[in-house]
């Protein structure tokens, strides 16, 4: 359950999240990064990254191996503390000390290994760490009904029974359960690192559909992908990283495959992209 307030006027920070000041960030922007830098000893993995993530849109984060994409999402997910820079959530500056702080704000991260338990069924995975209890016993009926409701709202129709062990699901179905779990706990931002990397054609299509449905429900989605076909299919916005620097960002319509590849590989923006996207 998120503790994020409906409006900034009644804002009370969740435990461990410090809040201060007025950022001047536009209210439609859910998450803003300003000057985020992260060093690992001599390696500067992130260099003064500025990025705005709007609600209800899919932002694709692209870049070559080692560009800093995973490090950036780990800073947003409360895993790495930035060396310097500020994170603004709904216009307020926040400091995320732990992944739980990010989760409390409504930030859900679906990692490639998914962190699902194979030996538990779908309902148990959906509620892991968030179990509903009634009269000191787990409310199995409520959990099962909620699981069915969320899966049907997301049009996840290929799963035969919510009492099926997650270990028996296909890669695409597992991805769908991980995403549904994030949605059920009222996330406002869902971050996905390479969600389709291990999937076949039809499973990829299902996951891309799911990503679009999340955005149409008003959720902000930040997705990392090396597959530009997938990126252009789902992204409303594109952000390109190169050697730790965010070198270009803007509406997906301002990019095409060749301009995206050029920016990914050289770090330079072609003038037509740079003019409208930066
Ligand atoms: N824990 C760490 N300690 C030291 N260096 C790290 C650490 N994590 C990342 N790095 C370095 O930071 C840089 C960015 O790594 P990151 O994992 O963010 O790249 P990426 O864009 O996600 O790449 P990929 O597409 O290969 O997943 C790399 O040079 C990497 O070696
Ligand atoms: Mg990575």
The pTM for the full model equals: 0.81
Contact between 93 and 87 (Cβ < 8 Å): yes
Distance 160 CA to ligand 1 centre (A): 39
Q: Give the span between the Cα atoms of 144 and 30, in whole angstroms.
A: 31
Distance 66 CA to ligand 2 centre (A): 7
Asked if the model's pLDDT at residue 63 lies above 60, the reply is yes
Contact between 266 and 253 (Cβ < 8 Å): no
Q: Which residues pair with 32 in a beta bridge?
A: 52, 88
**pLDDT grade for 113, boundaries at 50, 70 and 90:** low
Query: Which of 60, 68, 194, 225 has most ligand 1 atoms within 8 Å of its beta carbon, as the pocket-test mutant?
Result: 68
Average pLDDT of span 197-202? 76
Q: Give the span between the Cα atoms of 278 and 270, in whole angstroms.
A: 11
Domains of the chain in start order, with CATH, are 16-113+187-277 (3.40.50.300)
CB of 70 closer than 6 angstroms to any ligand 1 atom: yes
* Tokens coding 148: 């069915």
Asked if the model's pLDDT at residue 158 lies above 90, the reply is no
Distance 183 CA to ligand 2 centre (A): 23
CB of 67 closer than 6 angstroms to any ligand 1 atom: yes
**pLDDT grade for 11, boundaries at 50, 70 and 90:** very low
Asked if the model's pLDDT at residue 274 lies above 60, the reply is no
Distance 45 CA to ligand 2 centre (A): 11
CB of 45 closer than 6 angstroms to any ligand 1 atom: yes
**pLDDT grade for 114, boundaries at 50, 70 and 90:** low
In DSSP notation, the chain reads: -----SSGGG--PPTT-EEEEE----TTEEEEEEEEEEEETTEEEEEEEEEEEETT-EEEEEESTTSSHHHHHHHHTTSS--SEEEEEETTEEEE--SHHHHHHHTEEEE-TTTT--TTSBHHHHHHTT---EETTEE-HHHHHHHHHHHHHHTT------TTSBGGGS-HHHHHHHHHHHHHHTT-SEEEEESTTTT--HHHHHHHHHHHHHHHHTT-EEEEE-S-HHHHHHH-SEEEEEETTEEEEEEEGGG--HHHHHHHHHH-PPPHHHHHHH-
CB of 63 closer than 6 angstroms to any ligand 1 atom: yes
Q: Give the span between the Cα atoms of 105 and 100, in whole angstroms.
A: 9
* Tokens coding 194: 């390479």
CB of 69 closer than 6 angstroms to any ligand 1 atom: yes
Q: Which residues pair with 22 in a beta bridge?
A: 92
Query: Which of 51, 66, 196 has most ligand 1 atoms within 8 Å of its beta carbon, as the pocket-test mutant?
Result: 66
End-to-end CA distance of the chain: 36
Q: Which residues pair with 110 in a beta bridge?
A: 192
Q: Give the span between the Cα atoms of 26 and 101, in whole angstroms.
A: 23
CB of 208 closer than 6 angstroms to any ligand 1 atom: no
Top mean pLDDT of 11-15, 70-74, 166-170 is at 70-74
CB of 22 closer than 6 angstroms to any ligand 1 atom: no
Distance 46 CA to ligand 1 centre (A): 9
* Tally of CB atoms within 10 A around 137: 7
């Amino acid at each position: 359950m998120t503790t994020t307030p409906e409006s900034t006027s009644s804002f009370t920070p969740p435990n461990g999240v410090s809040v201060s000041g007025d950022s001047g960030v536009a209210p439609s922007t859910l998450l803003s990064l300003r000057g985020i830098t992260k060093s690992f000893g001599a390696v500067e993995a992130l260099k003064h990254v500025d990025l705005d993530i709007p609600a209800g849109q899919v932002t694709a984060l692209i870049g070559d191996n080692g560009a800093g994409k995973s490090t950036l999402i780990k800073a947003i997910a409360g895993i790495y503390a930035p060396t310097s820079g500020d994170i603004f959530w709904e216009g307020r500056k926040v400091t995320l000390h732990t992944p739980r702080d990010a989760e409390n704000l409504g930030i859900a991260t679906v990692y490639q290994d998914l962190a699902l338990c194979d030996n538990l069924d779908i309902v148990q995975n959906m509620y892991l760490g968030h179990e509903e209890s009634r009269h000191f016993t787990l409310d199995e009926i409520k959990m099962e009904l909620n699981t069915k409701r969320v899966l049907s709202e997301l049009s996840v129709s290929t799963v035969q029974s919510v009492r099926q062990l997650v270990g028996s699901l296909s890669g695409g179905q597992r991805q769908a359960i991980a995403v549904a779990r994030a949605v059920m706990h009222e996330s406002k931002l869902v971050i996905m690192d390479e969600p389709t990397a291990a999937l076949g054609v039809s499973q990829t299509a299902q996951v891309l559909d799911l990503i679009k449905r999340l955005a149409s429900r008003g959720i902000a989605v930040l997705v990392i992908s090396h597959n530009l076909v997938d990126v252009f299919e789902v992204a409303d916005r594109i952000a390109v990283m190169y050697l730790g620097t965010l070198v270009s960002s803007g509406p997906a319509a301002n990019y095409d495959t060749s301009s995206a590849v050029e920016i990914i590989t050289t770090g330079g923006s072609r003038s037509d992209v740079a003019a409208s996207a930066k």
